[in-house]
Structure 1
C-alpha cells in the first residue's frame, strides 16, 4: 500500500536530469542565494515596498485579484487542487481547495484562510519562491524568499535545480495521498490517464476516465475511488472564477515541462562554461540537450487530445491570446487548434518566456540551429516528419517576425 504524504507546492515540475557531477544550485558558479534577482515578483515587491504600487488590502479575495492584476496573471487561469501537496497542507481539503493561477513567468497559489505562494521565474536562476500572509487594510506585505520550498522544488522531480512541480495523486478521504503517478515526469507527453489526480477538473467530459474529481479509500489492499463533483463541497464565491477548466491545466502542464527543461539546461551549460573551454564531451552533451529541448519545443511527443478535442472557457482563451505575437499575415504561436492538439503552429509560445531568454547563448544558439534544421523544407529532417511543409513554413515565418536574436543563417 502506497500511503505517503507528498509535500510539494503543486504550482508546479520537471523531467530534465542534471548530472551528478554538477555542483548544487547554491554553489559556484550558480550562487542561487547571492545573485541579484530579475524575476517579475521581486520587481513588484520592490514597487509595493516603495509605494509605487498599492495592492487592495480590503480582504483575501480583493487582495488576490489586485495581486494577479499587478503581475498580469489572468484570474481566468484558475485551477483548483484539493490534494494536500503543499506546504499549507493542513488547510487544503476538498471543501477548501487551493487555487493556482499563472502566466508564462509567474505562478500564484491561494488558499482561503491561508497564505499566498509565489513561484516567479528568474532568467538566470529559475524558480524564486515566496510565501507570505495576506495583509489586512494598510498592513505592509512581508514577502520573504522561502527555504522550505526548495525541499521539493530543487529535488528529484526537477533534477535538483530550482524548478516547478506538479503532482498527480489519489487523495485520501481524511487527507494524505494513497497513490501517486507520473513520478519525475512533466510536460505535454505525460499520458492523460496519469494526470489530474487531486485536482478539480471542469470542461473535460471527453477526458474520462481520468484521475480528477476523485478521492480514495483503502479496504484491505484494495483502493476504492469515489467521485466528488467540483463546487459541491465548497463555495465558488470564495474564488475569482466558478470553474477549474481543463484548458489552463493542459497549458500549465506544457509550461512546466518547458520551464524545467530550460532551467536544467541553463544550470548545466553554466557549469560546463565555468570549467573553461568546452571539450568534446561537453560539446556532445550540449548538442544532445539542445536536440532534446528542441523536440519538446516543437511538440514532437505531444499526447493527442481525446476525440472531440477541447473547448476551453472563452474568458481564459481571450486572456491567453491577449499577448499573442503575430507575423505580417496574422499567424501566431498562440493560435489554438484544440481538435487533435493544443496549437495550430507547433512551436511553443514559451520561446518568448524569461526561462528561454535566460538560456546561455552557447545553448540557445544550438537550439536555434536545431529549430532551423527541423523547419528546413528543402532538406527535411525525418525526425520532424510529423510537421507538414506548410506548418514548418508558417512557424519559420512567425519566428523570423517575432524574435530578434536568431542566427544569421535564418
Structure 2
C-alpha cells in the first residue's frame, strides 16, 4: 500500500467522531490495561504487606474490613447500604442484609455480611479503575487478588463509556432485592434528579420536601413504580428498617451519596479523557513519522480530540447541569463534617470540600479531585489544555452558556482557592 494511501487512511480514521472511540481495546498500547504497571492504593498496600511493613487484623464481625478501612484512611461515616442484587456476591445481598460500600478519594470498598471477600476498586492514575478482592479468611500474609474479565464485563462497558470504572444504579427492587427489569433502571450521577436516585439503597438523612426512591421495595412486579415515596423520605434511624448491628455504622448517609455520585462519574471522565488523549497523541506520532517530520504542527483533528477530552473533564469538575437541590439536605453520620475538614483550605479558610447542601452539593463548585493523582496523571498535553480552559472560565473570558451556572463570585472564589492550594499551577495562573 502506498504511503499516500496509508496517510489518507490514517487521516480518515482521525476524523471519526470522538464518540466512536467509546469502546477501547484496553489490552493494547497505549493503554495496556492488563499488563501495564499498576500504581494504585491497593498495589502499594500489597507491597507493604509483602514486606511486613504493615499488618491487617482480622475480627469475627467484619473480617478484614475494619482494618482495611483504617489502613487506607477510609472513614466508616462514608458507609452506604445497597440491598439490590447488583454485585457478584448477589447471594449475600437482600433487603435484610444489604451490602455496605465505603469510599475515599481514590478507593471504593464493598463488604457483605458473611461474605467470602472484601471487594475493592482502586483508582490508578493511568489505568482507571483496578479491581481487587481480599479473601475473608485469616492468614499471616493477606493477599489482594486483582480481577480483570469478571469485573470489566460490567465495569468497562458502554455504561462506563468503555473504560474500567464505576457504576451507580438506581432500580425498582423486589422483595428479595432483584431489580425488576420490566421497568426503568437509572444510571445515577450528580445530574440525576433526586426522584430517580437510590432505588435499591437505604438512605439516612433529611431532605425536606424532596423525594427519592430509597428505603422502598416494590410491592408488585406489575406496577413496580406504584409505591409510597413519602414512606422512605427523611429517614434518620435505619434500625427501624433493618438490623444495623452487623455493620460498622448504623447509617447510610445521604451526603455521602451526593459526593459519591459526583466522584464516581468524575473518575470515569478522567479515565476516558486520559485514554482518548493517549490515543490522539499516538495517532499524532504516527502521522509525524509518516511525514518524516517530528516537529510538524498539530493537526486540527488531533486538536479537536484533545479539546473534547479537556471539555469532558471540565464539565464534570465544574458540575455542569448539576441537578438542583430544592430543600436543605443533612446527613446523620458525621460524614459531611469529616469530609469538609480535610481541605486543603485557602488563606480565607475556604475549601473546595465546603458544602452548600441547600441548592447544590458544594459551595464552590469545582471538584476536589483536581488535587488527585488521577488528575495529575493526565497526559501533560491534555492537562495544559484543561488548565487553560479552566482559567478562561474562572477569569470570565469564557462566558459560554455551558458555564452560566457559575456566578462571578463563584468563579473568583474558585480561582483564589486554587491559587492558594493547588501545587504546580501554570505560571499564567499566578499573574
Instruction: Calculate the aligned-residue CA RMSD, in Å.
Output: 2.3
Structure 1 residue 291, shift from structure 2 partner: 2.2
Residues 372-403 of structure 1 deviation map (CA, whole Å, 9 limit, x = unaligned): 11111477555433322222111111111222
Distance 1:264 1:219, change over 3 A: closer
The number of aligned residues is 391
Larger Rg: 2
C-alpha distance in 2 between matches for 1:102 and 1:399: 24
| TM-score in terms of structure 2 length | 0.85
1:369 to 377, 388, 392: 388
More displaced stretch, 254-263 vs 390-399: 390-399
C-alpha distance in 1 between matches for 2:174 and 2:70: 35
| TM-score in terms of structure 1 length | 0.89
Q: Which structure has the higher relative contact order (CA within 8 Å, separation 6+)? A: 1
After TM superposition, list the pairs within 5 Å mapping 1:390-405 onto structure 2.
390-405=409-424
Correspondence for 1:117: 119
> Runs of 5+ in structure 1 lacking a partner?
1-16
C-alpha distance in 1 between matches for 2:315 and 2:120: 29
C-alpha distance in 1 between matches for 2:63 and 2:341: 23
Contact 1:172–1:217 (8 Å) recurs in 2: yes
C-alpha distance in 2 between matches for 1:234 and 1:28: 48
1:188 aligns with 2:190: yes
Correspondence for 2:133: 131
Q: Residue 160 of structure 1: SS of its match in structure 2?
A: coil
C-alpha distance in 2 between matches for 1:101 and 1:46: 22
Correspondence for 1:289: 309
Structure 1 residue 327, shift from structure 2 partner: 1.4
Correspondence for 1:408: 427
Q: Please identify which structure carries the higher helix content.
A: 2
Distance 1:18 1:256, change over 3 A: farther
Contact 1:30–1:267 (8 Å) recurs in 2: yes
C-alpha distance in 1 between matches for 2:36 and 2:324: 41
C-alpha distance in 2 between matches for 1:220 and 1:182: 15
Structure 1 residue 209, shift from structure 2 partner: 3.1
Structure 1 residue 38, shift from structure 2 partner: 0.6
Structure 1 residue 358, shift from structure 2 partner: 1.7
Residues 158-178 of structure 1 deviation map (CA, whole Å, 9 limit, x = unaligned): 111111111111111134211
1:77 aligns with 2:78: yes
C-alpha distance in 2 between matches for 1:403 and 1:50: 33
C-alpha distance in 1 between matches for 2:90 and 2:56: 26
2:266 to 248, 258, 264: 258
Q: Residue 215 of structure 1: SS of its match in structure 2?
A: coil
1:342 aligns with 2:361: yes
More displaced stretch, 295-304 vs 162-171: 295-304
Contact 2:207–2:330 (8 Å) recurs in 1: no
Correspondence for 1:11: none
Distance 1:344 1:224, change over 3 A: closer
Contact 1:79–1:101 (8 Å) recurs in 2: yes
2:299 to 279, 300, 307: 279
Structure 1 residue 58, shift from structure 2 partner: 2.6
Structure 1 residue 205, shift from structure 2 partner: 4.6
Q: Residue 217 of structure 2: SS of its match in structure 1?
A: strand
Distance 1:405 1:225, change over 3 A: same
After TM superposition, list the pairs within 5 Å mapping 1:4-403 onto structure 2.
19-20=20-21, 23-61=24-62, 63-114=64-115, 115-136=117-138, 138-147=139-148, 148-179=150-181, 181=184, 183=186, 185-206=187-208, 208-218=210-220, 220=222, 224-225=226-227, 230-232=238-240, 234-277=242-285, 278-307=298-327, 309-313=328-332, 315-377=334-396, 380-403=399-422
More displaced stretch, 101-110 vs 46-55: 46-55
Structure 1 residue 181, shift from structure 2 partner: 4.7
Correspondence for 1:14: none
Contact 2:23–2:162 (8 Å) recurs in 1: no
Contact 1:18–1:264 (8 Å) recurs in 2: no
Correspondence for 1:9: none
Distance 1:207 1:163, change over 3 A: farther
Q: Residue 320 of structure 2: SS of its match in structure 1?
A: coil
Q: Residue 94 of structure 1: SS of its match in structure 2?
A: coil
